Structures are given as C-alpha cells and as structure tokens.
C-alpha cells in the first residue's frame, strides 16, 4: 500500500496522568467484583460492558448519563500496577437495528449477530496516522500462497465474514501460487509479541465465482473456506457485508487496508497493516478515466454496476500489489469497531495514479456469497 509517511508522536506523559486522575474520580466509590482481566466482558445493572483500565474508558460520563448509571454502579474488575480496571459500560445497539426478521436475507441476519457482539476498541486510534492498531480491524486477513519453492508468501488480503469463511478476490485464487493458509489476529508481522498470538488456519476449499475468468476483471470475487472454525477474540472478529446496491453517501468514511507494496521502485511490501482513506468515484467518471488511459483490454464492457471505483484525491494513498482481495471498509461506528465491507480490491493502474482503483461491489454478489457461506 503506497502511502505518505509522517512522524507520529505520543501525547505527553501529563496527558496520561490527567486521564488517570479523571478515571480515579469515577472509581472512587466503586464496588468490587470477582477479579477479571482487561478485555473480558462484564455487566452493569443488566448493561453489557468490558473490563478496561479507567483511563481507557472514554466518554464514561456521557455513557453513564445515557444508561442512567451512577458512580456507585460502576464496578471494579481488578487492578494493574498503577490503575484500577473498571467495568466500562457500552451503549447497546438500538433494538431497531438488531431485530432479526424471518424475511431478512442471510447477510443481514449475520450482520445483526455480529453487531450484537461488538466490543469497543481497547486502545485509541493513531490520530492522523496510517498504521492500523491491533484490534482495530479484527476482520482483516492475510492470505498465504505457496510459491514454486514451497514457501508461503502473503500476497493477498481478505475479510473474515463468518467463523469459517474469508471473502477475497477471485484473481488471488487462480495464480500459479496455491492458497494454503489464512493469517489473522496480528497487524505487525515483525512484532514477536503479536506473533505469539497469531491465528493461522489452513484453507479447506477455494470458492471462485462461476462467471470469473482471468481474461477480464468482472466477477472478481471468491471465498476461502477454512478447515476449522476460528474462535472470536478482540483481535479476530468478522465484519458485516454492505447490502445497499448504491454507493455509500459522499461523506462516508472509507478505508482500504493491506500489507501490500509500499515502494513502487523496490517492490518492498509492508510488514505492518496500513490503511488509507478513499473517496468514491462514480462509475461514469471512473470509466472515462480508464478509457482516457487506454485501460480497456480487460474491461471491454466498461465499468459496470457490479464494480465500483475509489481513490485518494491527493493521489498518494492507494491500494497496491499485495493488497488485492482486501476490503474497502465503511466505518459505521468507529468507537464500537463497527464496519461494513463495501468493496473487494480488484484491479488498478499503477498505485496512487490519476486512474481510480477498481473494486468488486460486494452488494452485487450477495446471492453468490450467501449461497456459499449461509446456504441454509
């Protein structure tokens, strides 16, 4: 993924001291429950919560006011060396959004189940930065492909959409390299501590859209069926499929993410998961761009309704080689890690060029995805 670099500085120590003081105010009169670890689920007066250090329980006064809680209602989970771990309450998803009807399509029912189990991110996002925090995109997967030297290379991305299936691009699955494994639960492949908890699952079966052919960029969607169900954690969790046939609204927050190429000259890939903000380009303008640049050999029908385009207006942040198959993600509720995968990285001309990146539109392939992932 080609992105501009910038220096990211941590807030001064006084900032954390301030958070600790604020957190201490709210836990001064707390009750004590059986000791629990940070990240575990907890309950406050029939409301769901998560055990967090007090300084990490953002917007606590607001959440308490919304739930009608008092300071005495917030219980302790335990202690760290320097700080209490409290049961940080979470606002429930509105009932109207999680109610499942018998006539809801499988993708909608699956999304409702996902949203009902979401937990807030434990650590703040890096402001204005492009590295992805551990646990920020728990749906991201790296696809390991076996090369001719019997070595596994992580050359494509994917999205966990259930405990058994990863969504990706068909063109990642028809190369000389054989898809053999899926890696999840980490963002930095060079971090030994993260890699101790890496989740790697072998691939049982490859599903390629029946109308896909490598001669074109149409129907570029596929699914990886895993040998075993993955256990959900804060760092491994599926995301929803975007079901609206139209583009997200113009003000939507959309990000592309991957471990792909970061240097077009050296072809160096990133060992850290990176994200980049993208803006939708309507299909008419996108098609004109492809035609103007003579990029019509593999899309002779033009950019069609089952595809979509996006780019960085600054032409510096973009998906690149090695990012294929990864998601174009819509941010629904960042605080709750609530996302929806809108597109699958399909093709593009160079990286960060004036020609928008081409994506497979997820909503156009719901029937196919559901027939494989949720057949009953």
Strands 140-146 and 75-79: unpaired
Q: In the annotation, is 220 catalytic?
A: yes
Q: In the annotation, is 207 catalytic?
A: no
DSSP alpha helix (H) spans, the chain = 13-27, 60-67, 95-98, 106-116, 192-195, 283-292, 366-373
Could you give the strand order of the β-sheet that contains 41-44, starting from the edge strand earlier in sequence? 31-32, 75-79, 84-89, 47-53, 41-44
d(CA 205, CA 322) in angstroms, rounded, equals 21
Both tokens assigned to 37: 């670890």
- 3-class SS at 367? helix
CA 133, distance to chain mean position in Å, is: 11
Q: Catalytic: which of 55, 139, 162, 171?
A: 171
d(CA 131, CA 276) in angstroms, rounded, equals 9
- The DSSP output letter for 54 is G
Q: Check: CB of residue 358 under 8 Å from CB of residue 346.
A: yes
| Interacting residues of 195 by C-beta distance below 8 A, sequence separation 6+ | 186, 189
Nearest 10 degrees: Cα torsion 180, 184, 188, 192: -90
Q: Catalytic: which of 55, 75, 289, 324?
A: 324
Q: Catalytic: which of 55, 207, 220, 318?
A: 220
Q: Check: CB of residue 344 under 8 Å from CB of residue 362.
A: yes
Task: Return the active site residues.
Answer: 171, 220, 324
């Amino acid at each position: 993924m080609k992105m501009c670099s910038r220096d990211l500085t941590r807030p001064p120590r006084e900032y954390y001291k301030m958070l600790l003081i604020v957190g201490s105010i709210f836990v001064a009169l707390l009750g004590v429950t059986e000791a629990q670890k940070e990240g575990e689920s907890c309950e406050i007066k029939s409301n769901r919560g998560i055990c967090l250090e007090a300084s990490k329980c953002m917007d606590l006064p607001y959440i308490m006011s919304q739930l009608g809680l008092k300071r005495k209602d917030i219980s302790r989970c335990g202690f760290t060396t320097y700080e209490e771990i409290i049961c940080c309450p979470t606002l429930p998803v509105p009932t109207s959004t999680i109610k499942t009807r018998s006539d809801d399509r499988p993708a909608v029912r699956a999304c409702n189940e996902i949203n009902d189990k979401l937990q807030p991110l434990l650590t703040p996002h890096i402001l204005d930065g492009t590295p992805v925090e551990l646990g920020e995109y728990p749906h991201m997967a790296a696809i390991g492909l076996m090369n001719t030297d019997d070595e596994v290379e992580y050359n494509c991305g994917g999205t966990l959409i259930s405990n058994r299936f990863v969504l990706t691009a068909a063109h990642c699955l028809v190369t000389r390299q054989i898809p053999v494994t899926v890696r999840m639960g980490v963002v930095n492949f060079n971090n030994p501590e993260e890699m101790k908890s890496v989740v790697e699952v072998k691939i049982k079966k490859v599903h390629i859209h029946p109308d896909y052919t490598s001669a074109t960029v149409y129907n570029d969607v596929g699914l990886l069926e895993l040998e075993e169900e993955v256990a959900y954690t804060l760092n491994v969790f599926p995301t929803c499929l975007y079901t609206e046939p139209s583009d997200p609204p113009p003000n939507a927050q959309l990000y592309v993410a991957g471990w792909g190429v970061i240097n077009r000259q050296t072809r160096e890939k990133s060992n850290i998961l990176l994200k980049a903000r993208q803006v939708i380009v309507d299909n008419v303008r996108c098609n004109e761009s492809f035609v103007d640049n003579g990029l019509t050999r593999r899309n002779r029908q033009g950019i069609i309704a089952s595809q979509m385009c996006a780019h960085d207006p600054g032409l510096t942040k973009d998906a690149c080689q090695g990012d294929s198959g990864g998601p174009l993600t819509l941010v629904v509720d960042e605080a709750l890690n609530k996302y929806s995968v809108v597109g699958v990285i399909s093709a593009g001309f160079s990286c960060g060029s004036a020609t928008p990146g081409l994506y497979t539109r997820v909503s156009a392939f719901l029937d196919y995805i559901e027939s494989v992932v949720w057949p009953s």
